[in-house]
């Protein structure tokens, strides 16, 4: 067997427990082709918090109580699934890269450093996984993608929506023609149970600063929605959108619910968009971190209509009124090759599946299924929301992708010298 791929994790923040859970599930499924050899954090103790059970500072409690939110993943340690090797700890990425102990980098640090640290890693020949969104702007993301492709390095984005069981099942059903030609798509959400109307999302104030987050709901959540729509319904030709900052100040609360800080917010907390797809389908998409009272949304999450029926979540409703559970249909009719392609060794954890895709691509010397180009298209589609809102007119996603339209992003690019 070839030597395991040595992975350095850069960024030891609130999303890392979900990443470590994915690595643990891979090893429990019998995959033994990787090792975590380095942890990098600006503060030494932040890295020690994840290195070995029984050492380091006490873990942070999850910021979300939602079991479906990656930010709600329970704390874990590298030693939980890799007792034979404890990773080295660094406070400087340059030092880690010079150590000769990593072949690939898993970049989970906050968005403003994705392009700077990412380019640094690619420049010295390291394969790269980047937590979504790909980069602070489309221009920054383009530099990452072009650098990886030029040197034949595997660049992946942790866009776990692609690997959700429900999304994979919907993709399978659409590919086999259950809906025929697609006509309409809807994904509507107003308010959240944890962050509305004015909580600091995930206890990380930077998410509400345009220069640090690129955008608010439109980018942080927008890339997820963009990928779901693109993966299921095809490329989006144009976007018409409105975005708002309904709550210009956000509150940070402690464990007892007391206000621990107030922060100004200039990144959007609500967007409403009308995508038009290349195949002629049309849609309506919304998401907000604002919203007083209680949340409102589609119970099934996403609804997709075609010329033969519709899909509401994982329920297929045919024109004759028949309701079919996609899990039952997949289990009955999907062949072993399809099952293994969608859910290798029965894995359903989205982070584990994303890592499997990335690690396989490194070995095979190809780009991953969830590659940099996919992430860049998601980013351009999400920024098309803000570009349309800024222009107060429809915009072509291709023009955002090429940089022809960048009025909203221009100040961000200037801030980072892009």
What residues does each domain of the chain span?
Answer: 5-162+346-370, 163-343
Pair of tokens at residue 36: 């975590």
Q: How many CB atoms lie within 10 A of CB 278?
A: 14
Report pLDDT digits (tens) over 306-330: 999 999 999 999 999 999 999 999 9
pLDDT band at 1 (very low <50, low <70, confident <90, very high): low
pLDDT band at 167 (very low <50, low <70, confident <90, very high): very high
Range with lowest mean pLDDT among 65-69, 198-202, 236-240: 65-69
Report pLDDT digits (tens) over 199-220: 999 999 999 999 999 999 999 9
Burial classification of residue 120, based on how many CB atoms lie within 10 Å of its CB (0-12 exposed, 13-18 middle, 19 or more buried)? middle
Which region holds residue 405: left if phi is over 0, alpha if psi is between -120 and 50, else beta?
beta
Q: Which residues of 129-144 are buried (b: 16+ CB within 10 A; e: fewer)?
A: bbbbbbbbbbbbbbbb
Q: Yes or no: is domain 5-162+346-370 CATH 3.40.50.720?
A: yes
Average pLDDT score, the chain: 96
Tell me the mean pLDDT in the region 145-162. 97
Residue 286: what pLDDT?
97
| Locus of tokens 């980013």 | 379
Q: Is the pLDDT of residue 299 over 90?
A: no
- C-alpha span between 308 and 183 (Å, rounded): 10
Strand partners of residue 107: 10, 130
| Locus of tokens 């490194």 | 362
Q: How many CB atoms lie within 10 A of CB 99?
A: 13
Query: Whose CA is closest to 93, among 47, 148, 156, 53?
Result: 47
Do the strands 296-297 and 5-10 form a parallel or antiparallel pair, or are they unpaired? Answer: unpaired
Q: Yes or no: is domain 163-343 CATH 3.30.360.10?
A: yes
Residue 65: what pLDDT?
85
- C-alpha span between 313 and 303 (Å, rounded): 6
- C-alpha span between 36 and 79 (Å, rounded): 10
Pair of tokens at residue 170: 């919907």
pLDDT band at 2 (very low <50, low <70, confident <90, very high): confident
Tell me the mean pLDDT in the region 373-384. 98
Q: What is the enclosing helix (H) or strand (E) of 411?
A: helix 410-415
Q: Is the pLDDT of residue 67 over 90?
A: no
Which region holds residue 260: left if phi is over 0, alpha if psi is between -120 and 50, else beta?
alpha
- C-alpha span between 143 and 201 (Å, rounded): 29
Q: What whole-number percentage of the chain has pLDDT above 90?
A: 94
Say what the alpha-carbon torsion angle 346, 347, 348, 354 is, to the nearest 10 degrees.
-140
Strand partners of residue 274: 240
Q: Is the pLDDT of residue 400 over 90?
A: yes
**Which DSSP state fits 153?**
-
Which residues, including other chains, have CB under 8 Å from residue 324's CB and lie 6 or more apart? 315, 316, 317, 318
């Amino acid at each position: 067997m070839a030597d395991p791929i040595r992975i350095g994790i850069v960024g030891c923040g609130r999303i890392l427990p979900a990443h470590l859970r994915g690595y643990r599930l891979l090893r429990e499924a019998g995959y033994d082709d990787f090792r975590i050899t380095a942890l990098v954090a600006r503060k030494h103790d932040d890295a020690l918090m994840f290195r070995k059970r029984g050492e380091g500072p006490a873990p942070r409690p999850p910021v979300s109580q939602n079991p479906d939110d990656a930010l709600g993943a329970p704390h874990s340690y590298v030693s939980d699934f890799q007792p034979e090797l404890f990773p080295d700890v660094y406070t400087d990425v340059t030092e880690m890269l010079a150590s000769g102990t990593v072949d690939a980098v898993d970049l989970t640090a906050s968005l403003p450093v994705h392009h700077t640290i990412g380019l640094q890693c690619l420049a010295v020949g390291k394969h790269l996984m980047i937590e979504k969104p790909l980069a602070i702007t489309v221009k920054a993301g383009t530099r990452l993608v072009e650098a990886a492709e030029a040197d034949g390095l595997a660049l992946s984005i942790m866009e776990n929506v692609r690997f959700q069981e429900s999304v994979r099942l919907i993709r399978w059903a659409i590919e086999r023609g259950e809906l025929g030609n697609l006509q309409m798509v809807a994904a509507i959400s107003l308010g959240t149970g944890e962050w509305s109307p004015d909580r600091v999302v995930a206890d990380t104030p930077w998410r509400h600063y345009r220069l640090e987050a690129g955008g608010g709901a439109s980018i942080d959540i927008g890339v997820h929605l963009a990928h779901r729509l693109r993966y299921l319904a095809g490329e989006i030709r144009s976007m018409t959108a409105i975005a708002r900052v309904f709550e210009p100040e956000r509150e940070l609360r402690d464990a007892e619910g007391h206000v621990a800080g107030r922060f100004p917010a200039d990144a959007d907390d609500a967007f409403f968009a009308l995508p038009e797809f290349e195949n002629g389908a049309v849609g309506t998409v919304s998401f907000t971190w604002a919203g007083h009272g209680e949340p409102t949304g589609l119970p099934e999450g996403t609804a997709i209509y075609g010329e033969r029926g519709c899909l509401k979540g994982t329920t297929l409703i045919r024109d004759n009124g028949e309701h079919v559970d996609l899990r039952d249909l997949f289990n009955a009719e999907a062949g072993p090759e399809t099952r293994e392609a969608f859910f290798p060794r029965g894995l359903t954890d989205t982070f584990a599946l994303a890592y499997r895709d990335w690690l396989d691509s490194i070995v095979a010397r190809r780009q991953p299924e969830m590659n940099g180009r996919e992430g860049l298209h998601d980013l351009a589609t999400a920024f098309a929301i803000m570009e349309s809102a800024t222009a107060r007119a429809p915009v072509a996603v291709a023009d955002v992708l090429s940089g022809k339209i960048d009025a909203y992003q221009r100040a961000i690019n200037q801030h980072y010298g892009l």
